[in-house]
Chains A and B, each alone.
Chain A
């Protein structure tokens, strides 16, 4: 099935029982899949009147203790930023899927990776973070959605699946979970709004007016984020051990990079790939260890953007290694040939 559909199925198999969304290319297959499957899983599907409404519906369903998800593409994700900030502020779990497309503005419907900053730098207002996971295959998209729900529930925060139009539309075989976890075995949510029978009332809010309250709350969030950064960063290292040149790419870009690596290795060039799986928390440790001991002194970051993830790579390296960049955006996609040409040329 397509990446979009795999994400939907992955959500359902992970116990997602509420979906609200608005049609936008290139993720319409996701909302369509949810429309035709959610009811059979005993969940709720709503085609909302806008992206704003959809993210606020996710806020509501999540506040009531249900695993909830919305999906969109870049312009729609821009609309959702207010709602995501509220979800982060109310410490609610939620999964938001961004199948990125070319921008800015209406842009076009071709793939892009231009929303990295938006996803990893709290695109809405306030000092908060979302977990950001970046799949690069249909199978990984299916698996990562389940992980996103687990992490979102565990840490009570929004989790973004950052895909792109290529991943969303491509079709690959998929192995689904043979054992679907019982939604009742999910983490308990004593804070959820269920009606105050037998307990003190719960309030879902992000508003702290009295002096010092909001600062104290924010310090709590920061502590949580530091803990996540210590524990949850993930990456894939591909042919790293003897690599003298390391490519850094995520999502569909990493698929293309792997293809370029295969060609370059045939020419005897010792080249590998670091593929972040979590974009927030960014996998700093591998870069720190490379800057300290690894023989590699050449790093090439490749993005379907004009340079967003590269900043995190540079920060993680602490300026110890010079980082090159290859990027195209606005629907343009760096090709294997362009990558090979860049590596082979001596223009480092």
Chain B
């Protein structure tokens, strides 16, 4: 008997604080698998967000930094510029990357910084108790849209990946999801591409990952996966955007 699946070495073997069925656990593992497979653990510097994954650095076994909410790409830009031989990636949620951090996101992308960006889109603000995110769907009920998001009052779900794709400095953007093992394997491929691009100095590379938040979607973990498949990925189409 041969062991054909175990957790990657870069992922610490500690229980996480994430809710049952949360997508962060899967995304963390995929990143660590890719880092191990590419053999870059000793070069990697990860930037954790503010959000549920604020202590992601407790789960990853490589150099990490925090960043103020939304500022991860400013922190990452500087680290990469002073240490170009290191592999620098940010891991950010929808508030971090597309609300408070939009300016830093757009300009790091526009400068074409040689960074890898992992964007976890779960259409809600989990850490603070389930408020609307820029990517919340119209009609979706959250703490700050108790009757459902209304386009007249709250605008439309923000397609930041499509917006960033307009920028010349951006070299790779793909949207994937975590709603089934098949999609998870595609996500891993995209993450791998985004890291390989940095190893090969290609330019700004981002993966937007549709991820479940069962707690604040008010669904079971399996229902959340189905909601991504049937509803969310119709609003946020999967595939290579740039």
Q: Do chains A and B touch in the complex (CB under 8 A)?
A: yes
Tell me how many residue pairs across A and B have CB atoms closer than 8 Å.
131
Q: Is the CB of A61 within 8 A of B79?
A: yes
Given B64, B74, B86, which contacts A53 in the complex, CB threshold below 8 Å?
B74
Q: Is the CB of A53 within 8 A of B81?
A: no
Which of B40-48, B153-161, B228-236 lies at the interface?
B40-48
**Is B222 an interface residue when CB atoms closer than 8 A count as contact?**
no
Residues on the B chain within 8 Å of A46, using CB: 77-78, 81
**Known: A195-B44, A197-B42, A203-B57. Is A60-B65 also a contact (CB below 8 A)?**
yes
Bound CA–CA A66/B79 (angstroms): 9
Which of A204-212, A216-224, A252-260 lies at the interface?
A204-212
Q: Is the CB of A205 within 8 A of B104?
A: no
Q: List 20 A-B contacts (CB under 8 A).
A: A17-B82, A44-B81, A49-B106, A52-B74, A53-B71, A53-B74, A56-B74, A57-B77, A59-B68, A64-B79, A68-B78, A83-B71, A193-B45, A193-B79, A193-B86, A195-B44, A195-B63, A198-B42, A203-B66, A205-B66
**Is A296 an interface residue when CB atoms closer than 8 A count as contact?**
no
**Is A202 an interface residue when CB atoms closer than 8 A count as contact?**
yes
For the complex formed, measure the closest distance between the CB of A224 and the CB atoms of chain B, giving whole angstroms. 20
Bound CA–CA A50/B82 (angstroms): 20
**Known: A53-B71, A193-B79. Is A90-B45 also a contact (CB below 8 A)?**
no
From 52 to 84 in chain B, residues with beta carbon under 8 angstroms from any chain A beta carbon are: 54-55, 57, 60-68, 71, 74-79, 81-83
Nearest residue (CB) in B for A62 is: B78
Given B54, B63, B76, B78, which contacts A20 in the complex, CB threshold below 8 Å?
B78
Bound CA–CA A63/B66 (angstroms): 10
Q: Is the CB of A58 within 8 A of B68?
A: no
Nearest residue (CB) in B for A53 is: B74
B residues bordering A, Cβ < 8 Å?
A: 41-45, 54-55, 57, 60-68, 71, 74-79, 81-83, 85-86, 103-104, 106-107
Nearest residue (CB) in A for B45 is: A193
Q: Is the CB of B45 within 8 A of A64?
A: yes
Given A53, A59, A201, A204, which contacts B61 in the complex, CB threshold below 8 Å?
A201
Bound CA–CA A262/B57 (angstroms): 60
**Is A196 an interface residue when CB atoms closer than 8 A count as contact?**
yes
Given A57, A194, A204, A207, which contacts B83 in the complex, CB threshold below 8 Å?
A194
Bound CA–CA A52/B75 (angstroms): 11
Besides A56-B67, A56-B104, 17 more A-B contacts (Cβ < 8 Å) are: A17-B82, A52-B104, A53-B74, A59-B68, A60-B65, A60-B74, A60-B76, A83-B68, A83-B71, A86-B68, A193-B45, A193-B79, A193-B83, A194-B63, A201-B61, A204-B64, A205-B57
Residues on the A chain within 8 Å of B106, using CB: 49
**Is A48 an interface residue when CB atoms closer than 8 A count as contact?**
yes
**Is A82 an interface residue when CB atoms closer than 8 A count as contact?**
yes
**Is A18 an interface residue when CB atoms closer than 8 A count as contact?**
yes
Q: Is the CB of B74 within 8 A of A57?
A: yes
Nearest residue (CB) in A for B43 is: A195
Nearest residue (CB) in B for A193 is: B63
Residues on the A chain within 8 Å of B78, using CB: 18, 20, 44, 46, 56-61, 64, 68
Q: Is the CB of B75 within 8 A of A196?
A: no
**Count of chain A residues with a beta carbon within 8 Å of a chain B beta carbon:** 39
For the complex formed, measure the closest distance between the CB of B12 and the CB atoms of chain A, giving whole angstroms. 10
For the complex formed, measure the closest distance between the CB of A192 and the CB atoms of chain B, giving whole angstroms. 9
Bound CA–CA A53/B64 (angstroms): 19
Q: Is the CB of B42 within 8 A of A60?
A: no
What 5 pairs between A and B have smallest CB-CB spacing? A60-B78, A60-B75, A56-B74, A56-B71, A57-B78
Q: Is the CB of A202 within 8 A of B63?
A: yes
Residues on the A chain within 8 Å of B79, using CB: 60-61, 63-64, 193
Residues on the B chain within 8 Å of A209, using CB: 55
**Known: A49-B104, A61-B82, A83-B68. Is A56-B63 also a contact (CB below 8 A)?**
no
Bound CA–CA A82/B68 (angstroms): 8
Residues on the B chain within 8 Å of A57, using CB: 74-75, 77-78
Residues on the A chain within 8 Å of B81, using CB: 18, 44, 46, 61
Q: Is the CB of B82 within 8 A of A53?
A: no
Bound CA–CA A64/B77 (angstroms): 11
Bound CA–CA A305/B64 (angstroms): 42
Bound CA–CA A57/B65 (angstroms): 12
From 2 to 58 in chain A, residues with beta carbon under 8 angstroms from any chain B beta carbon are: 17-18, 20, 44, 46, 48-50, 52-54, 56-58
Bound CA–CA A64/B76 (angstroms): 10
Bound CA–CA A50/B108 (angstroms): 12
For the complex formed, measure the closest distance between the CB of A67 and the CB atoms of chain B, giving whole angstroms. 10
